[in-house]
Amino acid sequence: MLTFIIATAIKVVFFVVLFGLTLSAILTWMERRQSAMMQDRLGPVRANIGKVRLWGLLHPLADALKLVVKEDFRPPHAYRALYVLAPMLALLPALLVFAVIPFGPPVCIDQLGAALADVGGMCKPDQLHYLQIANLDIGLLFVFGIASLGVYGAVLAGWSSNNNYALLGGLRAAAQMLSYEVTMGMAVMGIFLVYGSLEPMSIVEQQSTMLDWGIVKQPLGFILFFFAAIAETKRAPFDIPEGESEIVGYFVEYSGTRFMVFYLGEFIEIVFVGTLITTLYLGGWQFPGLASDGFHSFFGFNVNWLMPHWAVVALQMGAFVTKVFIVCFFQLAIRWTLPRLRYDQLMALGWKGLLPASIFNVVLTAAVMLALQSVK
* Contact by Cβ (8 Å): 261, 91: yes
> Shortest approach of another protein to residue 1 CB, angstroms?
11
Q: Which of residues 81-120 bind another protein (CB under 8 A)?
A: 82
Closest CB to another protein among 164 and 209? 164
Q: How much is the CA Rg of the chain, to the nearest whole Å?
A: 22
Cβ proximity to another protein: between 156 and 187 the closer is 156
Helix (H, G, I), strand (E, B) or coil at 235: coil
- Rounded CA-CA distance 186/361 in Å is 8
CB of 38 to another protein, least distance (A): 35
Query: Considering the rule CB under 8 A, would residue 247 count as an interface residue with another protein?
Result: no
Listed ranges 35-43, 165-173, 281-289, 358-366: which one lies at the site for another protein (CB under 8 A): 165-173
Number of residues that bind another protein (CB under 8 A): 32
Number of neighbouring beta carbons within 10 Å of residue 375:
6
Which one, 137 or 246, has the nearer CB to another protein?
137
Q: Give the one residue of 175, 216, 326, 334 binding another protein; rule: CB under 8 A.
A: 175
Task: Assess 27 for contact with another protein (CB under 8 A).
Answer: no
Q: Which of 177-185, 215-223, 301-309, 347-355 is the region at the interface with another protein (rule: CB under 8 A)?
A: 177-185
- CA distance readout (Å), 268 to 66, 155, 275, 361: 20, 19, 10, 29
Distance CA 150, CA 153 (A): 6
Phi/psi of residue 62, nearest 5 degrees: -65, -40
CA dihedral 335→241→220→144, nearest 10 degrees, is 120
Task: Rule CB under 8 A: say whether 231 interacts with another protein.
Answer: no
Task: In angstroms, give the least distance from the CB of 79 to another protein.
Answer: 6
- Mask: binding to another protein, 192-211, rule CB under 8 A, as x and -? ------x-------------
Among residue numbers 131 through 160, which ones bind another protein (CB under 8 A)? 136-138, 141-142, 144-149, 151-152, 155-156, 159-160
Closer residue to another protein, CB minimum distance, 165 or 325 = 165
User: Least CB distance from residue 50 to another protein, whole Å?
Assistant: 48
By CB under 8 A, the residues from 46 to 85 that bind another protein are 77, 79, 82
Q: Are 67 and 244 in contact (CB under 8 A)?
A: no
Q: Taking the complex as a whole, how short is the minimal distance between the CB of residue 232 and another protein, in angstroms?
A: 12
Q: How many residues does the chain have?
A: 376
**Is 194 in contact with 214 (CB distance < 8 Å)?**
yes
Q: What is the DSSP code string of 312-369? A: HHHHHHHHHHHHHHHHHHHHHHHHTTSPPPPHHHHHHIIIIIIHHHHHHHHHHHHHHH
Judged by CB under 8 A, the residue of 178, 363, 366, 367 near another protein is 178
β-strand partners of 249:
none
Q: In what order do the strands lie in the sheet with 294-298?
A: 290-291, 294-298, 301-306
Question: Footprint of another protein on this chain (CB under 8 A)?
Answer: 77, 79, 82, 136-138, 141-142, 144-149, 151-152, 155-156, 159-160, 162-164, 167, 170-171, 174-175, 177-178, 181, 198
